[in-house]
Structure 1
Amino acid sequence: MDKLLDIRKKEEGKKTSFRIVSMYVLLACLLQIANKMGASYLSFSLMIIVTAYLLYMMIQRNIAKVNQIETLQLKREEQKIRSTLESIQDGYYEITMTGSFLVFNHSLVELLGKVEKELLGCQIADFMSAEDAKKLKQAYQWVAHTGTAVNCVEWEVIREDGTRKCVEASIVLILDAQDSAPTGFRGIIRDISDRKDSERMLEESRFRYKSLVDHNPDLVCSFELNGLVTAINPATEKITGYSANQLVGTSCTHLLSVRPRSTYVRPFMLAKKGLSASFEISIAHKRGFPVDLHIRFVPIIVDSQVVGVFAIGKDITEHKQAEETINHMAYHDALTDLPNRRLFTDHLTKSLEQAERGRHKLAVLFLDLNRFKYINDSLGHAFGDTLLQTIAKRLLSSVGHHGTIARMGGDEFTILLPVLKQESFILFIVKEIIEAINRPIVIEGLECSVTTSIGISLYPNDGQDAKTLMMNADSAMYRAKESHRNQYEFFTPTMSVQASERHTIEQELRKAVERNELLLMYQPQLQFETGQITGVEALVRWLHPKRGLVSPTEFIPLAEETGIIIPLGEWVLRTACQQNKAWQDAGFAPMRVAVNLSAYQFKQANIVQVVADILHETGLHPAYLELEITESVAMQNAKQVIGTLEELKKLGIQVSIDDFGTGYSSLSYLRSFPIDRLKIDRSFVNDITSTQGETTIAASIIAMAQSLNLEVIAEGVETEVQFEFLKNKGCHEMQGYFFSKPLLKEDMTGRLASIQGVS
């Protein structure tokens, strides 16, 4: 703005000089006129002076008036220029050739973060890095040299507070008005920080998108609206086996074998309308194997218009296979791969619907393996599992395509014969099954034999629905098992009554513990030399309110089959320990109480903790508790059994092998068992006097126990002959009716009192 004023002053000086020269010329003319007229020089001089003065005053007034007008015009122009510069949102600058600020607007002051008065005299290079200053200096030199203005020179403003602004500047050379010599530079400096941020965000967004697509493990393809592929990501190449060159420009229909085409065409049409849609499809990999995909079509929208379609696909091949495996497992038995109860029931329900429509019969067979529990307990679960797998294969071979075979669990199988035109066909299938199962089975070098009991129910005679038919076939199977094994039974109405009674007994047994219907009886174990009672065996009985005293042979198998044996066994153990402690507290001589552990109890993972807790709860010293396990239980998994027995022995209790001689014990394992005594099974004792073989076995057991430093006790001693034989062979402890039958706790207390003299 000061530059503009200087120009104006120079022009005004020129005008004043012109006026003075003009006045002198006028005075000279007047003097010549006066000389020609002959006027006196003094008078004329006075006239000239007055005239000159008047002329001068007139000129001065004109000059002042002109100056006033021009000054106002100049101020107006200055205000216009200043107003224009201040209205510019970008920074305006004028600098010297050396870079010092001369002219600037307020926008530039704000951009540089300076106070206006501080900016005068500052160098433009003060607000940038050394590298940017070097770059800008080269630009100014080029403009000064060529006289050509430049635009869009980018650099970064560094403000006093440390903040930075990205700017874009223009550079125009300023020339002197008279001699056109370069005097400085002017231009616009624009803050482009927001634009740079937007560009950076756009670039970052582009890289994010590229990273999302390129590194996405899922298939990503873009399609034109006509269905042709425009781009694919690397995952697509991996999933399909085809390269981008092989797929771009195609419609990928050579990958799709699915029919109907609407499976993928309809979702694509929805995407073209702006709606995303998903579906599952199987494609053919380049190598030929199928790949299952879950595809979602997503519209590509630009300016509110759908310009293409994205396909985002996840490879669900493994998921599908896992789903099929899980589904198979949900409906098939894990051991035999036969249908399980759920699938069998579904098949039976559908077959019943077909039988009703076709007015034909169908049959349900329920079969159970005889002696399986004994084999499984004695030879181990691995042996039992192999046996079940063998039976399953023989059943498939016997039934073939005529029906559906399922495993219900354990050793129970069901068979559905869905179309039955003649009942004689049932007998044909049943006989095939019986003969197949009866054939000897060799597993791990051991030969075993099992038989089966089969129950049969018919639709519509024996039931109209799946549940009834299966229940009635089950009832018929139990009748076959009870009456004559290795045979079959057709269902009769009386069987349902018996099955109902069995169910009722099961329910009553579950409540027997809660209702205090169970009781223990104690059979004394005597040392014959002293006649002293060294222990008692606790025997459980069920005192039913209506049935009276129920033998354990009736309810123990049912308890084991239904799982009731676990709570029942704990009750027996706790009650026996409590009673033994009560006898000791009453002053009787300490003795052991023997409690039999069933196979189901012994297999419990927490059996050691259960025994320890009961001993702690009752206060009985562990030395006065003896746990009996059968020989078959001991040999199921000898190494595992030894580990459990060792843990039990650490508690301080005694352990005996019950029913010894009936199983398959080997001497090597018997040496390793941490046991205290062997109990000779009553079957050998009963036939001691009549069978030479039993006599030899009993004598051998006693001799073997003595060689192993084990005590031996015989059960079931009922006659004096048996007693004398056992005594002579070295058996020092016995129990049986020869000494005493099992006694109630009150009677046992009286017996102890009479022997020990305790009142």
Structure 2
Amino acid sequence: MTETSKRSAPPVESPIVSPSPLDGPAKQSAPHRGAYRHKAHQPGAPGVINAHFGAGTIFAELSIIYISNPITVHFRPIRQNHSGATPSPLNHSRVLDTLVKNLEGMAYRCLHDADWTMVFVSDGCQELSGYASSEILGKTGVSWEEITHPQDRGRVRACIEDAIGSGQRFAVQYRIVCKSGQVKWVIERGVAIRDELDESVIEGFIEDISVRRTTLEALEAAEQRYRNIFEHASEGIFQSTRDGHYLAANPALAKLYGYDNAQALMTDLADIERRLYVQPNRREEFLTLIEKNGAILNFESEVYRRDGSRIWISENAHVVFGPQGEFICYEGTVQDISERKRTEAHLQLMAMVFSNSNEAIIVTDASNRIIATNPAFTCLTGYQPDDVIGKNPRILSAGTTPTEVFSDMWTCLHREGAWQGELWDRKKNGEAYPKWLSISLVRDEDGQIRNHIGSFIDISELKATQERIRHLAHHDTLTNLANRFSLHEKLAQALAFCKRNRMQLALMLIDLDRFKTINDTLGHQAGDELLVQVAKRLSHAVRESDIVARLGGDEFVIALPGIGSPADAAHLADDITREISAPYLIKGQELRTSPSIGICVYPGDGSEIGDLLKNADVAMYHAKANGRGNYQFFTEDMNIATTERMCLESDLRLAITRREFLLHYQPQLDLRSGTIVGVEALIRWQHPTRGLVSPADFIPIAEESGMIAAIGDWVLEEACRQLKVWQNRGITHLRMSINLSAGQFLDKTLPARIHELLAANDLSADRLDLEVTESMSMASPDESISVMKTLSSSGLTLSIDDFGTGYSSLAYLKLLPIHTLKIDRSFVKDIESDPNDADICDVTVLLAHKLGLEVVAEGVETEAQLKFLLSIGCEKVQGYLISKPLPADQAERFIRNNPPMKGLGTIDLWPAQEQLTPIEEHCHA
């Protein structure tokens, strides 16, 4: 090249800024346009393009600085043409011109002045702005700043000035207003350089990006829409890897799993398989299905939330593949179906209830046509579903339910939505039965009736049970007589009848004599059988219009409405006494009892039920007091005695707390040694105003009122205390005999209580002898044996008191772990004059000795009695001949002041006892 050509040609590797007009592109340049465009669109990569000009080929290297599209092209020849010559400046210029012309956009050079005066623009100017190059070049042309949109001019200038000031390239997007008025978006890229005259110029390239920007804005809008969907979707959305890591998750998924945000979810839940699924194998099933099918639908699993609670989810997912078919991720949605699962479970439960309910269930439609029944319906009615589907439930009716019931049912059903009641239906086999029906309405969202649901049960047995209950409520379960409740009802009706008709009514209260003895001796079963037979005899003895009832225990009531006079009641009382006193055969034994009957008459003895019953009771007690087996009419004097008895009972309740009881001790003499070897503790009541009250007066009251248990416990405690006092004073050989009541004897706490008292008083068990009556021991033999064995095994001695007065079974007697038999005073009393009593005492001693037992005779009062007992081998005696029961201090003096007797064979007794007081005579009797 010449120096001139060097100056006029662009420097090697300088931007294409040739200001020379060129003839036009080479004929063969067009085929290469796509090639250099393709190379130009590979960012920052130099490309080698073969361009054909004229008869030769020029090889050049284009260095393209690319930001979205080429903006600056550096050209450098890299090889000579086929002739071997370096391209001429002209050819060089033509190549540059061809390249510039084929670029999409406008290349330019402008001055760095106030107007950005253009000194070169490429032909792309026309296509870009609508202005020809000539209209823009020079200071007289339209300045590019004028073409720039007014709203963008300041921003564009500031951007370019900042870049120039920092020596950096610039790129700025802005709008231009075309000659046609059309607004386009362009991107301008450029750089400030020094030209050959060392002046500051700007070279650059402006490209139309309107379509691209529109597309980009559309893409951004679409992306934003999808982002909004992702962020605000109600379902969880995720992307995850095969190995169980989340790549993306939306807020809904985070909330579903209990996290505050998606990032927290992805950070914390790093192992889906192990930490998410309640059953880890569900993840394996998920992977198997999605890998096999490429997608998975409605995959249900139970998963853990962050707080450890469980929910059910449904997943829909698919595999995302890359352009080359490579795996990218799993992508899908997650929905919480816990409520649906609960609903399904509830529906399943309801279906099970429907199918397995013991109640028959029918469902009808809005027209009251049966649409469903359950198995219990078929079981109860005999109808198969096909027999009734589509029919009205009235086909089940027996036709006996009043129409008013159905009318009330439908009224209540439509008003309240439900009804319950009793109806009569008929089974398929024709059997009528009562049923209890519960029916409900089911309404739709609009409040219209959709279904009726009825459930019912056969209440035949229930009604029979109710009838039995009603009968039981009015009748005694043992005798089937009217009970106390029914008696009051019937008496009220009978009294009202007698009042209206000015008639009399007799009321009898009957109590069986010695029933307790029979019950205790032969057991409750025998006692119950006796009561049943007595009830039958009473029922046969009265008229149909009379009332017979059992009050309880062995007490019965007969009411005789409309009697002519009290004599009618007396005649019936005689008949009843005769009937009831006749023997009974029970458990192979002939038993006898008798009635004590109290009678009062309305209106003379009272006008109210309570008064009549009370007065009849008073009269009955007087009948018992008069020897039993008789009847007594009520008199006012009887009330006085009853009042006295009630006062005594009231005082008795206070006697323990007031410490009014005391014990007297009756010595027992050993006939073999002549010494006092024991005492029997006998209770006395020192009343503050009545003085010494006989046990015969207060013990029956204590037994009837339930106070005997407390009194018996006091006797045990006081006897042990006194025995301890004597022991401390040197009297260590005495054995204390204590009588037990029936309730005390069978109390399961008795052994523990006795051991407690022995321990508290430092006494050995053999110092106590417990006495039980023959009747008590035989009342429940097996239980008695068990109790006695427990007591005996602890070292206590046991005695049968009043032997011979009860109904002992020798088979049981030999099994009782007892030590002593006590002959009752009633046999000792007449042994001098009655051979039978003497024989009984003799046989008793013989029997006791054969069983290895000792014998104590009670009530010994004469020397003759003592001689006889000594002659038959009786070991011990007690009675007034030896000593009356004494207070503790006197008993102690008696024991100390009476050494062993000598010459019992000649009855060398102690000095005679002092004369008995009247109360002592009573106690003795």
Structure 1 length as normaliser, TM-score? Answer: 0.75
Shift of 1:550: 1.9
* 1:230 pairs with 2:371: yes
Find the aligned partners of 2:729 and 2:372 in 1 and give their Cα distance.
94
Is contact 2:664–2:682 with CA below 8 Å preserved after alignment? yes
The amino acid of 1:260's aligned partner reads P
- 5 Å matches for 1:484-633? 484-633=627-776
Comparing 651-660 with 702-711, greater Cα deviation is found at: 702-711
Is contact 1:331–1:339 with CA below 8 Å preserved after alignment? yes
Give the direction of change, closer, same or farther, for the CA distance of 1:303–1:492 in structure 2 (3 Å limit): same
Find the aligned partners of 1:649 and 1:550 in 2 and give their Cα distance.
34
Q: Which structure has the larger Rg over C-alpha atoms?
A: 2
Give the direction of change, closer, same or farther, for the CA distance of 1:674–1:302 in structure 2 (3 Å limit): same
- 5 Å matches for 1:17-28? none
- 5 Å matches for 1:74-223? 74-75=211-212, 78=215, 82=219, 85-86=222-223, 111=237, 113=239, 131-132=289-290, 135=293, 166-167=315-316, 194=335, 206-223=347-364
Give the direction of change, closer, same or farther, for the CA distance of 1:684–1:87 in structure 2 (3 Å limit): same
Query: Matched residue of 2:775: which SS?
Result: helix
From 295, 310, 314, the counterpart of 2:453: 310
**Which residue is 2:396 aligned to?**
254
The amino acid of 1:113's aligned partner reads Q
**Which residue is 1:363 aligned to?**
506
Q: Deviations over 1:147-175 (max 9, x none)?
A: xxxxxx968799xx999875599xxxxxx
Is contact 2:237–2:334 with CA below 8 Å preserved after alignment? no
Q: Deviations over 1:55-113 (max 9, x none)?
A: xx998655334798796773576368547745766999xxxxxxxxxxx9999999453
Give the direction of change, closer, same or farther, for the CA distance of 1:667–1:136 in structure 2 (3 Å limit): closer
Find the aligned partners of 2:300 and 2:358 in 1 and give their Cα distance.
43
Is contact 1:157–1:167 with CA below 8 Å preserved after alignment? no
Shift of 1:611: 2.4
Shift of 1:242: 2.6
The structure showing larger relative contact order (alpha-carbon pairs under 8 Å, at least 6 residues apart) is 1
Number of equivalent positions: 651
Find the aligned partners of 1:496 and 1:721 in 2 and give their Cα distance.
46
Q: Deviations over 1:446-502 (max 9, x none)?
A: 111211011122333222322211111111111222225322222222222222221
Find the aligned partners of 1:627 and 1:197 in 2 and give their Cα distance.
75
Give the direction of change, closer, same or farther, for the CA distance of 1:754–1:133 in structure 2 (3 Å limit): closer
Give the direction of change, closer, same or farther, for the CA distance of 1:679–1:164 in structure 2 (3 Å limit): closer
Shift of 1:706: 2.1
Find the aligned partners of 1:348 and 1:526 in 2 and give their Cα distance.
60
Give the direction of change, closer, same or farther, for the CA distance of 1:456–1:107 in structure 2 (3 Å limit): closer
Find the aligned partners of 2:427 and 2:539 in 1 and give their Cα distance.
37
Query: Matched residue of 2:444: which SS?
Result: strand
**Which residue is 1:174 aligned to?**
none
Give the direction of change, closer, same or farther, for the CA distance of 1:501–1:199 in structure 2 (3 Å limit): closer
Shift of 1:351: 4.2
Q: Deviations over 1:332-374 (max 9, x none)?
A: 4343343333332343345445554555443332110012122
The amino acid of 2:662's aligned partner reads L
Give the direction of change, closer, same or farther, for the CA distance of 1:244–1:510 in structure 2 (3 Å limit): same
Query: Matched residue of 1:736: which SS?
Result: coil
Q: Deviations over 1:496-546 (max 9, x none)?
A: 222222111111122222222222111111123433111111111222222
From 386, 398, 417, the counterpart of 1:275: 417
Give the direction of change, closer, same or farther, for the CA distance of 1:82–1:373 in structure 2 (3 Å limit): same
Shift of 1:585: 0.9
Is contact 1:277–1:297 with CA below 8 Å preserved after alignment? yes
Find the aligned partners of 2:300 and 2:753 in 1 and give their Cα distance.
82
Query: Matched residue of 1:402: which SS?
Result: coil
Shift of 1:409: 2.2
Find the aligned partners of 1:688 and 1:368 in 2 and give their Cα distance.
34
**Which residue is 1:181 aligned to?**
none
Find the aligned partners of 1:344 and 1:439 in 2 and give their Cα distance.
27
Is contact 2:537–2:580 with CA below 8 Å preserved after alignment? yes
Find the aligned partners of 2:232 and 2:551 in 1 and give their Cα distance.
92
Query: Matched residue of 1:436: which SS?
Result: helix
Find the aligned partners of 1:729 and 1:588 in 2 and give their Cα distance.
30
Find the aligned partners of 1:198 and 1:672 in 2 and give their Cα distance.
74
The amino acid of 2:767's aligned partner reads Y
Is contact 2:362–2:454 with CA below 8 Å preserved after alignment? yes
Query: Matched residue of 2:779: which SS?
Result: coil
Find the aligned partners of 1:677 and 1:114 in 2 and give their Cα distance.
98
- 5 Å matches for 1:293-442? 293=436, 295-313=438-456, 329=472, 331-357=474-500, 359-399=502-542, 401-418=544-561, 420=563, 423=566, 425-427=568-570, 429-442=572-585
Find the aligned partners of 2:235 and 2:511 in 1 and give their Cα distance.
100
Shift of 1:433: 2.8
**Which residue is 2:892 aligned to?**
749
Find the aligned partners of 2:477 and 2:236 in 1 and give their Cα distance.
80
Q: Which runs of 5+ in 1 are unaligned?
A: 1-8, 14-52, 93-103, 120-127, 138-152, 170-183
Query: Matched residue of 1:684: which SS?
Result: helix
**Which residue is 1:242 aligned to?**
383
Comparing 245-254 with 704-713, greater Cα deviation is found at: 245-254
Find the aligned partners of 1:555 and 1:105 in 2 and give their Cα distance.
96
Find the aligned partners of 2:777 and 2:823 in 1 and give their Cα distance.
15
Shift of 1:739: 1.5
Is contact 1:294–1:315 with CA below 8 Å preserved after alignment? no
Q: Which runs of 5+ in 2 are unaligned?
A: 1-32, 38-100, 102-120, 131-177, 185-207, 242-246, 249-285, 306-311, 319-324, 901-925
Q: Deviations over 1:98-150 (max 9, x none)?
A: xxxxxx999999945389xx99xxxxxxxx9564566569xxxxxxxxxxxxx
Shift of 1:646: 0.9
Shift of 1:667: 3.3
Shift of 1:276: 2.8
Give the direction of change, closer, same or farther, for the CA distance of 1:84–1:106 in structure 2 (3 Å limit): farther
**Which residue is 2:104 aligned to?**
none
Q: Which has the higher helix share?
A: 1
Is contact 1:274–1:299 with CA below 8 Å preserved after alignment? no
Shift of 1:256: 5.2
Find the aligned partners of 1:359 and 1:192 in 2 and give their Cα distance.
96
From 600, 608, 613, the counterpart of 1:470: 613
- 5 Å matches for 1:648-659? 648-659=791-802
Find the aligned partners of 2:364 and 2:679 in 1 and give their Cα distance.
88
Query: Matched residue of 2:725: which SS?
Result: helix
Is contact 2:737–2:771 with CA below 8 Å preserved after alignment? yes
Find the aligned partners of 1:706 and 1:106 in 2 and give their Cα distance.
107
Is contact 2:357–2:376 with CA below 8 Å preserved after alignment? yes
The amino acid of 1:480's aligned partner reads A
Query: Matched residue of 2:362: which SS?
Result: strand
**Which residue is 2:433 aligned to?**
290
Comparing 578-587 with 491-500, greater Cα deviation is found at: 491-500
Shift of 1:441: 1.0
* 1:458 pairs with 2:601: yes
User: CA RMSD of the aligned region, Å?
Assistant: 4.2
Give the direction of change, closer, same or farther, for the CA distance of 1:285–1:442 in structure 2 (3 Å limit): farther
Q: Deviations over 1:542-575 (max 9, x none)?
A: 2222222222222222222222211111111221
